[in-house]
Structure 1
Amino acid sequence: MMKKILAILLLSVSFSAVVASESFDITDVEGRTIHFDQHPNTFVVANYIANFMMVGGKSSLDKVIALTKDGWEETRFGEYQVFTQSFPKMKELPSIGGYHDDILNAEKILSLHPDVLLIGRTQYTENNQRIKTFENAGIKVVVLDYHAMTTANHTRSTEILGKMLNREDIAAAQNKTYRDSLEHVYQTIRNLPQDKKNQRAYMETASKGVGRYGNSYNKDVLWGAILKNIEAANLAENSPQPYMALDREYVISQNPQIIFIGGSIWRNKSEGDQMRMGFTVKADDAQKRLAAFTQRPGWNRLDAVKNNQVYAVDHGSLRNMADYTFTQFMAKTLYPEAFKDIDPEKNLNDFYKTYLPELKYDGTFMIHLNKAQ
């Protein structure tokens, strides 16, 4: 009998030691500490599914039980096509809210009862009253951020994913690439003469087509944050809202020296002449659409147009660990000699091939206007 008791005690101690060794804490980007007794098995990914899979690999999708899919096909058509064709399971997963907004279906999330709900910062803010409800139901809510375009938040979020998915080595490798690549850009720019900096830059996400000006971004978010980081004089830098359309008269009066047009495939009323970039987009189509924007009234007088400093970038490619390549691309357009040895498009291709090789990757992501168009 004593031997049996000792055996049971030893098994209990052994089990407790295993549990203790698997337990860990994380601190999310909102500064909230979340404790895990073991690595979670089920996730509802309300934001950043590409980052989740870049860290976790193809098999990590088996742990995902729901996504925010409402409006995904309409707002990121190319991305939707490529991801759902490469990973058909995504079509079968239920939707728990909006892909391009902060609406979450709390009732659906509670019914699925995941181990973890992954959300972005604006989702956290807009659903603040529901967070406690989720937590009281035993769901761990973890806040990530890839929107602010800061090295700290990108790498912190990736570190968190690595910890939860037990892929810390992959997360560390991605973070090293991200940090080293951006620090090289920033240090190179810091060392340049001051008179080479502060070129007037206009950036527009052209979802509304040629006839209506689309959103520009202030210094705190997305393209605006990138322009601030590479010391360009962004026309929208001090806008009172994170993103808003600038007046036509203002843009022309500021006479930008360089123009970036952001594209995607938005299924809306401006689909005919919107700027298209990203997954599934052919380079010839992107060039033709970009050329049309230079024909806007008054743009023939702009230095950027006269000097052929007009570029297009894929708006959908921000908010993930490969987006450092867009900082490289924009820096190279502003300071071509300083970054002549960097190939941002190759770096983007290599990142996907390394961390998500199953993705059927094709499209147009960064271009310089071909004046022959």
Structure 2
Amino acid sequence: MIKKWIALCLGALLLVAVFSGCGTGETPSGSQGSSPQGEPAAEGEIVTREDGSISFTDLSGRAITLEKQPETIAVANYLVNFMLVGGSQSLDKVSALAIDGWQDTRYGEYTVFTESFPKLLELPSVGGYHNDVLDAEKVLALAPDVLLINTSQYTENEASIPTWEAAGIQVVTVDYHKMSLENHLRSTRILGALLGRQEVAEELCRRYQGGIDLVNERLSTLSPEEKAAKVYVELGNNGAGEYGNSYAGTLWGGILDNLGVINLANGRLEGAYGVLDREYVISSNPDYIFIGGAIWSGDTGGDQMRMGFTIDEALAQERLRGFAGREEWRGLTAVQNGDVYGVDHGSLRNIADYVFTEYMAKCIYPDLFADLDPEAEMHDLYATYLPELRYTGTFMIQWDRQ
């Protein structure tokens, strides 16, 4: 009798558990689990509900809940990622950009995007492409449902954020600058939730994670001695006559850390980036050299490294020869072996930038990654997710010594 009573009680409890777990109307993504109705999601989790509300923790660590998908979004950073997730139709939701100086800072990107999507030129700007401080009054006047920013913009505009949010503008922070796998994936999933493109966001995340995992799995077969290559990365915006920034723990430095090589910049900079002493570079005798290029203004000497959208390979090779031909570099192992490469700096901070992890891995370990074609992968990603883009340019090259 007692056993029967216990069994009935357990059955009742089980039914309560089952029915209380149903009907919440929540669909978590990004990680397993769910949050109670109306409560913010746990970090790394995005919860969408049947009533249209969305909850997640953004990359500033703030719990965000939106009553519905935003109808208007001011995109103050990461326009390319926004459009890769949202497709060309995502521009219908964009009410403003932060693009003052875009043409001067990323001319190639500016050219192909504005020619492919002329609507970009019709949108108001609320700040500079490389200036973190936004026009607070203009943001208020435009009153978007969501203001999309990066982590440094969050810091620089922290005093304005309470005013914006009191006016009904939800500030959402994402981050691709750190070159962290976790941040790239979380940011992409947030974009997917904001745009109602969760499936596309997950596809992009799988491609990114798959590319990084493939590299990591193969590198795990190498001994510490085999991964002891010395690598020097320099931004070529100052031209061949003057040394440019190197990176530690971020951007190119983040990629080198993932590859497990010796980054000459690690432990030598006061911050995340800066110029290394040329005597130090020479005495370190790097095995591999990568010069980051783009199209910057102020190319008075005609020797800045040129890479990226609209650049043909002949020009990129011409500029790379200027760096490889530095008199003081003649005896360096990298130069002697022809291991000097050009890479597009403007393509970092992007859900497609795993291809540069693949490319640098292939340059340093050519036999281990002989089957990879990072440039073709990059082209395919843009063709798949943003087919209207008039994709031309040079994004990764090896110095042609002939």
Letter in 2 for 1:246: L
Counterpart among 202, 205, 220 of residue 175 in structure 1: 205
CA drift of 1:154 comes to 0.3
Other-structure match for 1:224: 253
Relative to the length of structure 1, the TM-score reads: 0.93
How far apart in 2 are the matches of 1:71 and 1:303? 39
Letter in 1 for 2:283: S
CA drift of 1:101 comes to 2.3
Render the CA deviation track for 1:40-87: whole Å, top value 9, x for unaligned: 000100000000000000000011011111111001011100000000
Higher radius of gyration, 1 or 2: 2
- Report the 3-state secondary structure (helix = DSSP H, G, I; strand = E; otherwise coil) of the residue aligned with 2:172: strand
- Report the 3-state secondary structure (helix = DSSP H, G, I; strand = E; otherwise coil) of the residue aligned with 1:301: coil
Other-structure match for 1:273: 303
- Cα distance change on mapping 1:110 and 1:278 into 2, 3 Å: same
- Cα distance change on mapping 1:203 and 1:237 into 2, 3 Å: same
- Report the 3-state secondary structure (helix = DSSP H, G, I; strand = E; otherwise coil) of the residue aligned with 1:203: strand
Letter in 1 for 2:264: L
Other-structure match for 2:265: 236
Other-structure match for 2:353: 323
How far apart in 2 are the matches of 1:78 and 1:133? 36
CA drift of 1:112 comes to 0.1
Superposition map of 1:81-120 within 5 A: 81-120=111-150
Counterpart among 190, 214, 225 of residue 244 in structure 2: 214
Question: Are the counterparts in 2 of residues 278 and 316 from structure 1 also a CA contact under 8 Å?
Answer: yes
Counterpart among 76, 100, 105 of residue 106 in structure 2: 76
Other-structure match for 1:160: 190
Superposition map of 1:332-347 within 5 A: 332-347=362-377
Counterpart among 197, 201, 217 of residue 231 in structure 2: 201
How far apart in 1 are the matches of 2:176 and 2:187? 7
Counterpart among 39, 45, 50 of residue 75 in structure 2: 45
Note the residue ranges of structure 2 that are not aligned, 5 or more in a row.
Answer: 1-48
CA drift of 1:270 comes to 4.1
How far apart in 2 are the matches of 1:270 and 1:149? 31
Letter in 2 for 1:112: L
What is the CA RMSD across the aligned residues, in angstroms?
1.2
Other-structure match for 1:121: 151
Letter in 2 for 1:62: D
- Report the 3-state secondary structure (helix = DSSP H, G, I; strand = E; otherwise coil) of the residue aligned with 2:330: helix
Other-structure match for 2:282: 252
Other-structure match for 1:32: 62
CA drift of 1:269 comes to 4.3
- Report the 3-state secondary structure (helix = DSSP H, G, I; strand = E; otherwise coil) of the residue aligned with 1:244: strand
- Report the 3-state secondary structure (helix = DSSP H, G, I; strand = E; otherwise coil) of the residue aligned with 1:342: coil
How far apart in 2 are the matches of 1:297 and 1:127? 45
CA drift of 1:198 comes to 2.2
Other-structure match for 2:397: 367
Other-structure match for 2:339: 309
How far apart in 1 are the matches of 2:330 and 2:145? 56
- Report the 3-state secondary structure (helix = DSSP H, G, I; strand = E; otherwise coil) of the residue aligned with 1:275: coil
- Report the 3-state secondary structure (helix = DSSP H, G, I; strand = E; otherwise coil) of the residue aligned with 1:261: strand
Relative to the length of structure 2, the TM-score reads: 0.86
CA drift of 1:21 comes to 2.0
How far apart in 2 are the matches of 1:27 and 1:271? 46
Count of residue pairs the alignment pairs up: 354
Letter in 1 for 2:151: R
Question: Are the counterparts in 2 of residues 207 and 270 from structure 1 also a CA contact under 8 Å?
Answer: no
Letter in 1 for 2:343: V
How far apart in 2 are the matches of 1:269 and 1:20? 54
Note the residue ranges of structure 1 that are not aligned, 5 or more in a row.
Answer: 1-18
Other-structure match for 2:320: 290
- Report the 3-state secondary structure (helix = DSSP H, G, I; strand = E; otherwise coil) of the residue aligned with 1:25: strand
How far apart in 2 are the matches of 1:198 and 1:104? 43
CA drift of 1:20 comes to 5.3
Letter in 1 for 2:306: R
Other-structure match for 1:354: 384
Letter in 1 for 2:261: A
- Report the 3-state secondary structure (helix = DSSP H, G, I; strand = E; otherwise coil) of the residue aligned with 1:129: coil
- Cα distance change on mapping 1:271 and 1:81 into 2, 3 Å: farther
How far apart in 2 are the matches of 1:155 and 1:140? 21
Question: Are the counterparts in 2 of residues 20 and 37 from structure 1 also a CA contact under 8 Å?
Answer: no
- Report the 3-state secondary structure (helix = DSSP H, G, I; strand = E; otherwise coil) of the residue aligned with 1:350: helix
CA drift of 1:187 comes to 1.7
- Cα distance change on mapping 1:304 and 1:270 into 2, 3 Å: farther
How far apart in 1 are the matches of 2:86 and 2:300? 37
